[in-house]
Structure 1
Amino acid sequence: MNSAQADACLRRLGAERPASPTSDVLRELQLKHLVAVPFENLSIHLGEKIVLEENRLLEKVVDARRGGFCYELNGLFGALLTALGFDVTLLAARVYGDEERLGIPYDHLALRVRTVDGGDWLADVGFGAHSHGPLAIGQRCEQEDPGGVFRVVEAGPDASGTRGGGADSDSGDLDVVRDGRRRFRLELRPRALGDFVAGAWWHITSPESHFTRSLVCSRLTEDGGRITLSGRSLTVTAPGGQREVRELGADSEVLSVYRERFGVELSGVPRVREPGGGGQESGGGE
Structure 2
Amino acid sequence: MTWLDHYLKRLSLTSWPTLDQAGLALLQRRHVESIAFGNVDILLGNIPKLNHDALVEKLLVQGRPGYCYEINTLFASLLNHLGLMAKLHMARVLLNKEPVHERPRSHLIITIEQEGQTWLLDAGFGGGGICEHIPLQAGVVFDQDIDRYRLLPEQTSSGWYLQREINGEWNHLYWFDLSTAYLADCHVGNHYAATASESIFLRDLMVTRIDGLQRLVLHNKRFSIRSKTESNLKIISTVDELHNILDHYFGFAVQLEQAELLFKMGDYKT
Is TM > 0.5 for Structure 1 vs Structure 2? yes
* 2:162 counterpart of 1:176: yes
Query: Which stretch has the larger CA shift, 187-196 or 105-114?
Result: 187-196
Query: Which stretch has the larger CA shift, 106-115 or 92-101?
Result: 92-101
- Taking the TM superposition and a 5 Å limit, the aligned residue runs for 1:247-286 are 247-267=235-255, 268-269=258-259, 270-271=261-262
Aligned equivalent of 2:141? 142
- Taking the TM superposition and a 5 Å limit, the aligned residue runs for 1:121-270 are 121-128=119-126, 129-156=128-155, 164=157, 172-179=158-165, 180-222=170-212, 224-240=213-229, 242-267=230-255, 268-269=258-259, 270=261
Shift of 1:97: 4.1
- Determine the C-alpha separation between the residues in 1 that align with 2:88 and 2:209: 22
Please, what TM-score do these two structures have when normalized by structure 1?
A: 0.81
Please, what TM-score do these two structures have when normalized by structure 2?
A: 0.86
Shift of 1:95: 1.1
Shift of 1:140: 4.2
Residues 171-221 of structure 1: CA distance to partner in whole angstroms, max 9, x if unpaired?
Answer: x22222222222211120222233122222222223332222200111111
Name the aligned partner's letter for residue 112 of structure 1. Answer: T
- Determine the C-alpha separation between the residues in 2 that align with 1:10 and 1:114: 23
Contact residue 177 and residue 184 of structure 1 kept, 8 A? yes
Which segments of 5 or more consecutive residues in structure 2 lack a partner in the other structure? Answer: 266-270
Name the aligned partner's letter for residue 150 of structure 1. Answer: Y
Relative distance call for 1:249 and 1:84 in structure 2 (3 A) is: same
Which segments of 5 or more consecutive residues in structure 1 lack a partner in the other structure? Answer: 157-162, 165-171, 275-286
- Determine the C-alpha separation between the residues in 1 that align with 2:264 and 2:84: 39
Shift of 1:147: 4.0
- Determine the C-alpha separation between the residues in 1 that align with 2:248 and 2:96: 34
Contact residue 93 and residue 186 of structure 1 kept, 8 A? yes
- Larger relative contact order (C-alpha < 8 A, sep ≥ 6)? 1
- Determine the C-alpha separation between the residues in 2 that align with 1:19 and 1:238: 27
Contact residue 130 and residue 147 of structure 1 kept, 8 A? no
- Determine the C-alpha separation between the residues in 2 that align with 1:216 and 1:19: 31
Query: Which stretch has the larger CA shift, 253-262 or 203-212?
Result: 203-212
Contact residue 204 and residue 220 of structure 2 kept, 8 A? yes
Shift of 1:24: 1.4
Alignment RMSD, CA only?
Answer: 2.3
- Determine the C-alpha separation between the residues in 2 that align with 1:155 and 1:266: 43
**Percentage identity across paired residues of the two chains:** 24
